[in-house]
Amino acid sequence: MDKSTKQAQTKPQSAIAKHSQRDEQPMKTANVGEFAFGKENYRLMLIGLAFIAVGFLLMIGGGSSDPTKFNPEIFSFQRITLAPILILAGYVIEVFAIMKKPKD
């Protein structure tokens, strides 16, 4: 055998050896069968949902049964200030609950 045939034979073997070494490295796999969120994430989501629900409940009412009379209760602190703050806080909690990494 001459040098060129030996080099031709050794190159594919070295390429195969390099390829097999790459295959042996542990690959990151998806956690199959596990939930995307942890227990704390779900708890925070429920808290955020409760904030949103309470905010919308606080906005209910204040209307008048007689359409010709004005009821100033529609402009109360509860409906104008408190309820929207609770709703926005609920949405912020929801975003935080989704973005928070679950503990392993």
pLDDT digits (tens, 9 = 90+) for 6-61: 555 555 555 555 555 555 666 666 667 777 888 999 999 999 999 999 999 999 98
pLDDT tens sequence across 34-43: 778 889 999 9
Range of the domain at 85: 35-99
Going by C-alpha positions, the residue among 41, 52, 60 that lies closest to residue 85 is 52
11 occurs within a structural domain: no
Classify residue 17: in a domain, yes or no.
no
* Domain total in the chain: 1
Tell me the backbone φ, ψ of residue 82, rounded to 5 degrees. -65, -50
Give the separation between CA 79 and CA 66, rounded to whole angstroms: 20
At residue 78, does pLDDT exceed 90?
yes
43 phi and psi, to 5 degrees? -65, -45
Asked if residue 56 is part of any domain, the answer here is yes
- The whole-angstrom separation of Cα 4 and Cα 83 is 83
The answer to whether residue 63 sits within a structural domain is yes
Compute CA 12 distance to the chain's CA centroid, rounded to the nearest angstrom.
47
pLDDT range class, residue 69, cuts 50, 70, 90: confident
Q: Is residue 43 part of a domain?
A: yes
